[in-house]
Amino acid sequence: MRIIRFKCTFILLAFISCLAGCSGGFKEKLIKDEIIKDMGIKGALTEQKLLSINKFCLEEYSECESLEDISKLKNIDRLTLGYRSDKFKPEIISVSSVESADIIASKNKMYENDLKIIMDSCNKIECFEIIPSDNSIHFESLEFLAGTADSLEYLHLYYMDVDDYSYIYECANLQELVIYYNQNFDDEDLVGIDQLEHCEAILLQGTNVSKADQFLEMKNLKTLCIENTPLAENEEELDRIREKFPDIVIRRNNDDYQITKLIYDPKDLVVLEYVPKQDK
């Protein structure tokens, strides 16, 4: 009798374990459905199938009560949260959420906690971006980036507010940094950027950056986009940057340059590739 009970218990535990490794182990149906739809996965979401996924975009992330399920995608090298179609629309910064302040605060805390779990688990991510549909994202810090500090090469943060940006500068292999329309981002938030020895492209459009000092400490800066910033209007500070980097492309208004490429694969990502517009 004990042997039979032991076998039954073993079979039950094996069945539960199987469920945990498949779609039954998901907290969020939205995330599971998005994986199935985008990746064309048929049948159960086994661990092997989840490990075969290398890119994931969750457009309606704000509808989720938890993002933790994304941590099952341990081999992704690109993670996008939000709508790519919202890129380069400054008006988003003035769009307020319809949710209460308490709900927004609770969601932001959830995002921070879950992103730490995700980044610790998915530590091969090379490109991470958040593209909200309103201005409700406010993080205390970007501590969750620590999990991908060695792998992250492209970091794009749109329309969001962060109290402490210092964790960005621990991402030693970062090549491209986008802080897009955060009016609270200023010169003090750039302290430490000289640690990004491989960073070649920076977009700080719609921020409050006004000085050249921190950029002068960098080694390989090739492209700087500063539309709608105090720095864009300060010719003396811009001359200091040009003196340090004679070949740099500085974009300070939409008429200076035209984008030659805008694609989304991290292996070919050239969001900040500009050429001077030709006179007609």
Strand-strand pairing, 274-276 and 257-259: antiparallel
Residue 17 pLDDT: 43
Q: Does the pLDDT of residue 43 top 90, yes or no?
A: no
Q: Which of 59-63, 80-84, 276-280 has the lowest mean pLDDT?
A: 276-280
Query: What is residue 263's predicted lDDT score, i.e. its pLDDT?
Result: 40
With bands split at pLDDT 50, 70 and 90, how would you rate the model's confidence at 22? very low
Lowest mean pLDDT among 55-59, 227-231, 272-276: 272-276
CB-based contacts of 108, cutoff 8 Å, min separation 6: 136, 137, 138, 139
Lowest mean pLDDT among 81-90, 135-144, 206-215: 81-90
At 157 the three-state DSSP class reads strand
Q: Which residues contact 237 (CB under 8 A, 6 or more apart)?
A: 210, 211, 212, 231
Mean pLDDT across 187-208: 95
User: What's residue 84's pLDDT?
Assistant: 64
The per-residue pLDDT for 171 is 96
pLDDT tens readout for residues 129-148: 998 877 788 999 999 999 99
Q: pLDDT tens digits for 228-272?
A: 999 999 999 999 999 999 999 998 876 555 544 444 444 444 444
Its pTM stands at 0.82
Please tell me the predicted confidence (pLDDT) of residue 1: 54
* Distance, CA of 246 to CA of 194 (rounded, Å): 18
Average pLDDT, the chain: 82
For residue 100, what pLDDT is reported?
Answer: 83
Distance CA 36, CA 39 (A): 6
Tens digit of pLDDT for each residue in 86-111?
445 655 556 666 778 888 899 999 99
User: Which one has a higher pLDDT value, 16 or 152?
Assistant: 152
pLDDT at 99: 78
6 or 128: which leads in pLDDT? 128
| Residue 127, token pair as written in the block | 């490109």
**What size, in residues, is the chain?**
280
d(CA 75, CA 9): 33
Which residue is listed with tokens 């060695």?
Answer: 150
* Residue 11 in this model has a pLDDT that exceeds 50: no
pLDDT at residue 83, as a whole number? 78
